[in-house]
Structure 1
Amino acid sequence: MMRVTAVLVCAALAGCQAVPGEGPLASAINTDGGKSGAEIGRQNAAVFEIVDVDNTSAQLVSQYFGSALKRRFGFGSGGAGRAVIGVGDVLKITIFEAGSDGLFSTQDSKQTSLDVVIQPDGQAAIPYVGLVRFSGKTLEEARQTILAALRNKAVEPDVIVNSVNTSSRMVTVSGAVGRSAQVPLNLTGEHITDVIAKAGGPVAQPYESYVTLVRNGRSGTTLLKSVIENPSENIYVQPGDQIFVTRDPRTFTLLGAVKQNARIEFGANDLNLLEAVALGGGGDDAAVNAKGYFLFRYEEPEIIAALIGNARFNQMLAKGMKSDKFGRYPLVYRFDMSRPDSLLVGQTFPIKSRDVIYAARHNAVDFAKFLALVSRPVSVVAQGITVANGIGN
């Protein structure tokens, strides 16, 4: 009779939700996904979409490479740019003449070398030419400017302009690198990894090193591993850029009906879903719902659109789905460990830093807890009522 009563009371409590538990049941997550706060029954509830992890979705996520730098760094990848002379640069200017009685030649030498420093106004003085504006010009443009000024003064002149010091083409590299430094850029252009290498390279592994690029009051951050693996993200740096390298070990959080609830470091270049669950000791066989593994993540909008389609994505935005400060949106991946192919699919689904993996408990766990509660001796219940009355008074 007690068990029948327990079942009836448990049903009235909406699936034993009133008993203690470490998190939502799988049914609650599946019901809440995609609903607005009003539909869920609470204000300001986060709206998220649920996507099943299968062979197609796992392959799509693992193979995705975003055109990240335009969004992550806030700049297009661009090219090397135009290497021009700037204030503070030191140039070596060599002037040649055909005759020995020219302005810059003697019987012993038909050439003269001059070292000039570009002044704050962008100009420098050349004998018999006067002030020449160098700032903003390439070496060849500067050569042609000097040559044109000497044609009616020197004897069949020719000019060579070489860069000695490029103070105006400096990039600051600091943080978790071998040695923080101001790195001079060469005239052909250099990538992020080039200037980091000049600063001694990162002190930590690329999979736990983040690169922040600051340019013209804007900044963006990405994982150094992503820059190395995706050449399109290894953008050209520009004079005046600031690059900060920080070590931040990638971690994920494992919660629910698993043997270890913890924040866990990757400790490797890559980590898949099965490996992540295994790092926490695996699911608790006595409690876990094999069909109720969920991965909570703020995902890139391009991936969401590819997974659910633009129409569904727009519907979710209309329902109140909000992005984080990086422009990513909440997505929950649902993983069914009861399926035989889950052991293959799980190997191809990559874990990202700050992911939260939740293993829901089985419904039977709450039912067993409820039976334990209602099966307690009446004296214990009476004591509880007495204590409650005392607190109320």
Structure 2
Amino acid sequence: MKNVPLSWVRPVAILAALTLAASCGLPKVGPNKRQIFAGSVQKQGDAFVVSVNDRVTRATAVVPALGFSNGFINAGRLTSDTIRPGDVLGLTIWENVDDGLLANEASNATALEEVQVDSAGYIFVPYAGRLRASGNTPEQLREEITKKLEDQTPDPQVQVRRVAGDGSTVSLTGAVGGQGVYAIERPTRTLSTMLARAGGVAIEPEIAQITVIRGGEQGKIWFQDLFNHPELDIALRGGDRILVEADSRSFTALGATSAQARVPFESQDLSALEAIAQVGGLISTTSDPTGVFIFRNEPAEIANQVLGRDDLVGAQRMVYVLNLTQPNGLFIARDFVVRDEDTLYVTEAPYAQWTKTISLLASPLTPLASVETLFGG
């Protein structure tokens, strides 16, 4: 049997490695650009592949709308003296006669020490009847009682005071400095001042959301909007429940990025450029800056606008393509808004596949070089 010259071994090994690479395929993080475009509707796939431009960024720039209804915004501030259901009042009534309606012969003053405001907000005063107390101040209630009695006894003098009941309270839970139940007092009549009373928010202000539950109604706002939009600093009501929590939105990062993970939002508005930065940016040796994709289920009204159609119904699978190497590519990526549950996927550069091929070819050459050295080749 003839020996094969060592000079033939290297080309044969390279050819074998190339054959192996072609038949088995090289390892990669996911589909390449060609494979993604092959799944487009235009090629009988099930997703619309759209190159992002200024028109597309405007059509897709949708952020969650948070705010309070008019019922919250138009509610007036409570005063610290406002009487509320459950309060216990003390009434003293002086009559300018020796034998009055209420007073006995020994005294012209009558004390009603414990008059509780019922659940409907009313109290009962002899000879004055059932009166609305809730929502009034002690002075307003005093005037009402006086008006009811003066037709029956000359020049009555009435005093009203709160004996028990600490007024309205609200509860604060979630990411605040001190969770608990707090009374609505003169310095804490609004949402922002009550949050300050509880120690402020205990998370990053950029992602803090405030929910106020009042009876069967609720509203939610961004914490920062309390200061950017003063009209959202609503007046509080007894029984309000205030919840502070972090923004729950997130996106998934996959492919040739520095990190592959489910990533929470770090601001109210997150652009594609910021999303890339949050995961550590692109990898210079493997990432393809022309192949940055955003996968999303887009509502029909937005998909129709993006595609210039009006016949789509239901959520549509959309794949948005960003090319960071274009003259305005970084500006477009900065303006394109990432939304909740989006998937950010970056393809590998062709160079990365070539590098893997070279590495694969280099592996069998090391022992071959050793053989050549042994034979003095």
TM-score per shorter chain, which class?
0.5 to 0.7
Q: Is the contact made by 1:69 and 1:76 (CA closer than 8 Å) also made in structure 2?
A: no
Does 2:336 correspond to 1:338? no
User: Structure 1's 271 and 78: CA in aligned 2 closer, same or farther, altered over 3 A?
Assistant: closer
User: CA offsets, 1:130-153, max 9 Å, x none?
Assistant: 5x2436654487556524421222
State the 1:203 CA deviation.
1.9
Q: How does 1:215-294 map to 2 (within 5 A)?
A: 215-216=214-215, 223-231=222-230, 234-247=233-246, 253-263=252-262, 272-294=271-293
Partner of 1:181: 180
Point out the more displaced range, 247-256 or 205-214. 247-256
Match of 1:44 in 2: none
The whole-number CA distance in structure 2 between the counterparts of 1:312 and 1:22 is 33
The question of whether the paired residues in 2 share the 8 Å contact of 1:209 and 1:249 is answered with no
Match of 2:28 among 21, 40, 47: 21
Question: Which residue number corresponds to residue 68 of structure 1?
Answer: 66
Residue 361 of structure 1: aligned partner:
348
Q: CA deviation at 1:259?
A: 3.3
Match of 2:132 among 124, 134, 139: 134
Instruction: Check the 8 A contact 1:250/1:353 in 2, yes or no.
Output: yes
CA contact (8 A) 2:188 2:194 kept: no
Q: Which amino acid aligns with 1:359?
A: V
* 1:277-356 correspondence runs (5 A): 277-296=276-295, 305=301, 309=305, 315-316=311-312, 318=313, 320-321=314-315, 333-349=320-336, 356=343
Distance in 2, matches of 1:355 and 1:284, equals 21
Q: CA deviation at 1:335?
A: 2.0
Tell whether 2:74 aligns with 1:79: yes
Change in CA separation of 1:269 and 1:81 when aligned onto 2, cut-off 3 Å = closer
CA 60–153 in structure 1, closer or farther in 2 if over 3 Å, else same: farther
Deviation for aligned residue 1:338: 0.9
Query: Would the aligned equivalents of 1:207 and 1:250 in 2 still touch at CA under 8 Å?
Result: no
- Taking structure 2 as the reference length, what is the TM-score of the superposition? 0.63
Structure 1 unpaired stretches of 5+: 42-46, 323-329, 378-393
TM-score (norm 1): 0.61
Aligned to 1:326: none
Evaluate the alpha carbon distance shift between residue 236 and residue 351 of structure 1 in structure 2; reply closer, same or farther with a 3 A threshold.
Answer: farther
Asked if the contact 1:93–1:114 (Cα under 8 Å) also holds between the matched residues in 2, the reply is yes
Deviation at 1:240, TM superposition (A): 2.3
Q: Distance in 2 between matches of 1:159 and 1:192?
A: 36
**Contact preservation (8 Å) 2:167, 2:184:** no
Q: SS at 1:69's partner residue?
A: coil
Q: Deviations over 1:11-64 (max 9, x none)?
A: xx9xx9x654322333454565679xxx647xxxxx6x66654445557777x6
**Cα displacement (A) at 1:88:** 0.8
Query: Do the aligned residues in 1 keep the contact of 2:258 with 2:281 (CA within 8 Å)?
Result: yes
Asked if 1 retains the 8 angstrom alpha-carbon contact of 2:253 and 2:263, the reply is yes
Q: Match of 2:329, as an amino acid? A: S
* Paired residue total: 342
Aligned residues with identical type, % of pairs: 27
Cα separation, 1, equivalents of 2:283 and 2:162: 67
Please, which runs of 5 or more residues in structure 2 have no aligned partner?
1-13, 365-377
* Corresponding position of 1:89: 87
Deviation at 1:290, TM superposition (A): 1.9
**Distance in 2 (alpha carbons) for counterparts of 1:34 and 1:241:** 50
Distance 1:313 1:69 in 2: 32
Cα contact 1:189–1:236 (8 A) shared by 2:
no
Could you tell me whether the CA contact under 8 Å between 1:80 and 1:188 is conserved in 2? no
Render the CA deviation track for 1:208-256: whole Å, top value 9, x for unaligned.
Answer: 3333333445666554335544556555554323222235687654321
Amino acid at match of 2:31: P
Measure how far apart 1:198 and its partner are.
2.8
Task: Tell me whether 88-97 or 277-286 shows the greater mean CA deviation.
Answer: 88-97
Aligned equivalents of 1:267, 1:135: Cα separation in 2 = 48
Task: Give how far 1:341 is off.
Answer: 1.9
How far, CA to CA, are the matches of 1:34 and 1:239 in structure 2?
A: 56
Give the direction of change, closer, same or farther, for the CA distance of 1:366–1:158 in structure 2 (3 Å limit). farther
Amino acid at match of 1:89: D
Report how far residue 181 of structure 1 moved. 2.3
Deviation at 1:295, TM superposition (A): 3.3
**What CA distance in whole angstroms lies between the structure 2 residues aligned with 1:133 and 1:88?**
15
User: Structure 1 residues 103, 178: closer, same or farther in 2, change over 3 A?
Assistant: farther
Q: For residues 288 and 249 of structure 1, what CA distance do their matches in structure 2 show?
A: 29
